[in-house]
Amino acid sequence: MRIVVAVKYVPDIHADRGFEGGRVVRRADEGTLNELDENAVEAALRLKEALPEAERETSEVIVLTVAGPDADGAVRRSYQLGADRGVRVSDDAVAGSDYFGTARVLAAAVRRLADEAPVDLVVTGMAALDGLGSVVPALLAAELDLPQLTLAGKLEVEGEPGARTARVTRELDGVEEVLEAPLPAVVSVTDHANDPRMPNFKLIMAGARSRVLDASPRPPRPDAEIVVDKGEGGRALAEYLIRNDLV
Amino acid sequence: MSTPGTRTVLVLLDSAGTELRSPVLELITVGRSLGRVEAVALEAPSVGVLAQLGAYGVALVRQAEPSSGGEVVTGDALHLTPVVAEVLAAATRASHADAVLLTSSFPNKEAAARLAFLTEAGLVVDASALTDGGTHLVADKRVFAGSWDVRSEIVTDPAVLTLRANSVVPQPADAAVATEVDALRVELSPAATAARVVSRTVDESAGAGRPALGEAAIVVAGGRGTNGDFGPVTELADALGAAVGATRDAVYEGWHDQFVGQTGVTVAPRLYIGAGISGAPHHRGGMQASQVIVAVNNDPECPLFEISDFAVVGDLADVLPQAAEVLREHRASQG
Ligand SMILES: Cc1cc2nc3c(=O)[nH]c(=O)nc-3n(C[C@H](O)[C@H](O)[C@H](O)COP(=O)(O)OP(=O)(O)OC[C@H]3O[C@@H](n4cnc5c(N)ncnc54)[C@H](O)[C@@H]3O)c2cc1C
């Protein structure tokens, strides 16, 4: 089985982020592997580990990222975790590309890998915690013309080599779905799917089909009015809501 | 694009239930400010839905009748994301739409992206407002956990947007219209139904009697500080007619079923009350865009206080029931 895991470098969500000239600015030293991609790497490693030994030895987990050389440390890190290969696609035209551009470049890279030997599964995280569009996996499936099984809380792969199906269970907005598709397919996993073993990445993205007109930090909220409960805290809360027409 | 007020806007009706939910009515309200609104339905709209559409000034519903390789596609398969996208693409062509609006659920964001992919449209997901800039449509969006506002103009025609709940107050049209249903035949690509729906279960009881978390105007959320007892949280929610939310930790403990945050439900209500919640970045990311934030926590150093408008330092098991009691009395005194 050959599994490609698409991962992304993002700014640390605990660090300051902002805009400059219509582009997201990120400081290199604040980059991390998008936390939610750890679940994707984990899912791929577990699928490989569950294979019978003979097949496992010929199977490959390939970590794919679109980023500059500063991402190499993280690609190296993915070897330590058990990935067999790391591929970094670097293209200046890609820096600052939008969802569509990102999906197109990832798709081209997956096709290149599939030219070497068939790719059975492409796994991604559910969203990048920076852009939080969570639409790249669906676009990647569209680009590759493969079935999409996204936002999986559970992923199972069944069947014999060459005739496998992936089955995912997902629960979204009160709708529980079980979806199934023959491989090859594009799967995105949520952080419910597993408990990952790892950490470190980074990349860039902003708008192209839409253009940023104006980006401004929201004014900080004024300091909170703080009441210490000495028996009347609940009443004070209720009165605050009533006074501000919030009931 | 055309002059303001004369655009054609498509709105996806995402549930076939007996009535349209508030976020869909918001989309129609926004759409009407731009021009003529047409609806797209995956399943036959009920009589109640048609009446609502009429009241909101929607004269035409395009009801999808997709087929694949000559076979009619019905039932659960209608909800496959690529199917929704291809249906919307066909509707966009049929109505020469300038904009397509969807509510901001995860599946809808994906459908919107695939639609934009098919129609080479400009895409904005999770917009908080949409206006007409004259030449182009202009979308507002809050990013980086609600700490920045970004305004973009969509330079490609059509524009595809998912709009967050509570962006506007739903307003019926000045004059109601009669709503017609037109069949929209769509021949799907083979890839659209490449995945199969093994089962699909809609949890009708989800939040029975309470507004849905992602749509509510008021949210009361509980965290680890509840110690497993959500009684005080639900009591206050009921006194306010609010939805109940939680942190991820509380959901993983099995204390509640839905959590607010970057990997859970994003909320931007008029009022958010967080009780026994520390205010971790992952949680804040899903609620920081709320208009008014109130926190109840026994730790005066709790980080959620930093982004709160009002806070009570105290035990939530005392504070919430007392607040609920006062609010019930207030409501009773208002008649
Ligand atoms: C990849 C990833 C994604 C995540 N996504 C999300 C997400 O989407 N949403 C989310 O919520 N979390 C998410 N988390 C978890 C998040 O990081 C925090 O761990 C979580 O939000 C903390 O939950 P909490 O506030 O309930 O618990 P704690 O941080 O333990 O806080 C409990 C609070 O309760 C207070 N308290 C205790 N007793 C009382 C009392 N009697 N009365 C009043 N106050 C009391 C304490 O002072 C404390 O402030 C994610 C984590 C990761 C790694």
The domains located in chain A, with CATH, are: 2-206 (3.40.50.620)
pTM for this prediction: 0.75
B193, B227, B242: which is the final residue of a domain? B193
Paired strand residues for A89: A66
Q: Which of A13-22, A203-212, B58-67, B256-265 has the lowest mean pLDDT?
A: A203-212
Same domain, B17 and B153: yes
Task: Report if residue B14 sits inside a domain.
Answer: yes
What's the 3-state SS for A14-50?
CCCCEEECCEEECCHHHEEECHHHHHHHHHHHHHHHC
Cα(A113)–Cα(A31) distance, rounded to whole angstroms?
Answer: 27
Give the burial string for A178-216 (b: 16+ CB within 10 Å, else e). Answer: bbbbebbbbbbbbbbbbebebeebbbbbbbebbebeebe
3-state secondary structure of B184: strand
The band of B137, judged by pLDDT with boundaries at 50, 70 and 90, is very high
Q: At residue B90, does pLDDT exceed 80?
A: yes
Q: Are residues B176 and B34 located together in one domain of the fold?
A: yes
Using H for helix, E for strand and C for coil, what is the string for B224-282? HHHCCCCHHHHHHHHHHCCEEEECHHHHHCCCCCCCECCCCECCCCCEEEEECCCCCHH
pLDDT at res. A201: 33
Same domain, B290 and B234: yes
- The string over B208-223, giving b where at least 16 C-beta atoms fall within 10 Å of a residue's C-beta and e elsewhere, is eebbbbbbbbbbbbbb
Is beta strand A121-125 parallel, antiparallel or unpaired with respect to A185-189? parallel
Asked whether residue B130 is domain-assigned, the answer is yes
Spacing of C-alpha B172 from chain mean position = 18
User: Within this chain, do residues B44 and B142 fall inside the same structural domain, yes or no?
Assistant: yes
For residue B262, give the ligand 1 atom closest to its CA: 8
Tell me B62's DSSP state.
Answer: E
> Which atom of ligand 1 has the smallest separation from the CA of B279?
25
Lookup: tokens for A7 = 């991962």
Q: Which candidate, A84, A102, A90, A105, places its Cα nearest to that of A2? A: A84
Return phi, psi of residue A150, to 5°.
-105, 160
Nearest chain B CA: its distance from A131 CA (Å) = 8
| Residues B185 and B56 grouped into a single domain | yes
Q: How far apart are CA A184 and CA B233, in angstroms?
A: 46
Which ligand 1 atom is at minimum distance from the Cα of A191?
Answer: 1
Q: What is the per-residue burial (b if ≥16 Cβ within 10 Å, else e) of B48-78?
A: ebbebbbbbbbebbbbbebebeeeebeebbb
Do A218 and B149 make contact, defined as CB atoms within 8 angstroms?
Answer: yes
**Closest chain B residue by Cα to residue A26:** B144
CA A15 – CA A91 distance, rounded (Å): 26
Domain CATH code at residue B41? 3.40.50.620
Of the pLDDT bands very low, low, confident and very high (cuts 50, 70, 90), residue B263 is: confident
CB contact under 8 Å between B311 and A224, yes or no, is yes
Contacts of A132 in chain B (CB under 8 A): 126, 143, 262, 285
| From B297, B302, B304, mutation site for ligand 1 pocket: most ligand atoms within 8 A of C-beta | B297
pLDDT at B294 > cutoff 60: yes
CB B267 within 8 A of CB B219: yes
SS3 assignment, position A51: coil
Instruction: Give domain status of residue B207, yes or no.
Output: no
Q: Which among B193, B227, B259 is the end of a domain?
A: B193
Q: How far apart are CA A222 and CA A209, in angstroms?
A: 36
Residues in chain B with CB shorter than 8 Å from the CB of A216 are 148-149
Do B323 and B263 belong to one domain? yes
Give B6-23 pLDDT, tens digit per residue: 899 999 997 766 788 889
Quote the pLDDT of residue B334.
Answer: 80
Task: With CA atoms as reference, report the closest residue to A125 among A12, A35, A40, A4.
Answer: A40
pLDDT confidence of residue A19: 58
Mutation test residue for ligand 1: of B265, B283, B319, the one with most atoms within 8 Å of CB: B283
**Strand ranges (DSSP E) for chain A?**
2-7, 9-11, 18-20, 23-25, 31-33, 60-66, 85-89, 121-125, 148-152, 154-158, 165-172, 175-182, 185-189, 210-217, 225-228
Asked whether the predicted pLDDT for residue B312 surpasses 90, the reply is yes
CB contact under 8 A, A217 and B147: yes
The pLDDT tens digits along chain A (247 residues) read 999 998 876 555 555 555 566 555 555 444 456 677 888 989 999 999 999 999 999 999 998 887 766 666 555 556 666 778 888 787 665 555 678 888 888 899 999 899 999 999 999 988 765 555 689 899 999 999 999 999 999 999 999 988 999 999 998 877 899 999 999 999 999 888 888 764 433 322 222 344 444 445 556 677 889 999 999 999 999 999 999 988 8
CB B167 less than 6 A from any atom of ligand 1: no
Two structure tokens written together for B22? 């508030």
A92 contact partners, CB below 8 Å, separation of at least 6: none
Contact B255 CB / ligand 1 (< 6 Å): no
Run of H or E residues at B69: none
Please count the structural domains in chain B.
2
Chain B residues closer than 8 Å to A179 by CB: 80, 195-198
For residue A198, the distance in angstroms to the closest alpha carbon of chain B comes to: 18
Protein residue closest via CA to atom 48 of ligand 1: B278
Question: Do B39 and B125 share a structural domain?
Answer: yes
Task: Give the nearest partner residue to A228 out of B109, B149, B314, using CB atoms.
Answer: B314
Q: At what angle do helices A136-144 and A99-116 cross, to 10 degrees?
A: 50
B228 shares a domain with B177: no
| pLDDT attached to residue A36 | 76
B106-119 and A136-144 helices, crossing angle to 10°: 40
Statement to judge: residues B109 and B221 lie in one domain: no
Nearest CB partner across the interface for A237, out of B125, B206, B312: B312
Whether B208 is covered by a domain: the verdict is: no
Residue recorded with tokens 């990311």: B285
Chain A residues near residue B285 by CB distance under 8 angstroms = 13, 129, 132
Q: Which residues pair with B71 in a beta bridge?
A: B68
CATH number at residue B293: 3.40.50.1220
The verdict on B48 and B167 lying in the same domain is yes
Whether B225 and B179 map to the same domain: the answer is no
Distance from CA of A76 to the nearest CA of B (A): 27
Give the whole-angstrom CA distance, residue A36 versus residue A27: 20
- Write the residue with the smallest CA distance to atom 53 of ligand 1: A35
Judged by CB atoms closer than 8 Å, whether chains meet at A229 and B315 is answered as yes
Per the structure, the complete domain to which residue B276 belongs is given by 213-333
Ligand 1 neighbourhood includes B127 CB (under 6 angstroms): no
Closest chain A residue by Cα to residue B308 = A224
Nearest residue of B to residue A165, measured between CA atoms: B195
Instruction: State if residue B114 touches ligand 1 by the CB under 6 angstroms criterion.
Output: no
Are residue B160 and residue B270 in the same domain, yes or no? Answer: no
Nearest protein CA to atom 52 of ligand 1, as residue: B282
List chain A residues with CB under 8 Å of B142: 218
CB count within 10 Å of CB A104 equals 17
Nearest-by-Cβ selection for B155 from A19, A190, A211: A211
Q: Which atom of ligand 1 is nearest to the CA of B223?
A: 26
Q: What is the pLDDT of residue A85?
A: 83
- The rounded Å distance from CA B249 to ligand 1 centre is 6
A181, B309: Cβ pair inside 8 Å?
Answer: no
Picking from B138, B161, B193, the residue at the C-terminal end of a domain is B193
Alpha helices (runs of H) in chain B, residue ranges in sequence order? 22-34, 47-55, 81-95, 106-119, 231-240, 248-252, 281-284, 316-333
Report chain B's terminal Cα–Cα distance, integer Å. Answer: 51
Tens of pLDDT, residue by residue over B195-234, are: 999 999 887 654 456 788 888 889 999 999 999 999 999 9
Of B301 and A134, more confident: B301
CA dist., res. B115 & res. B77, Å (int): 17
What local confidence, expressed as pLDDT, does residue A77 receive?
Answer: 58
Ligand 1 site, residue A35, Cβ cutoff 6 A: yes
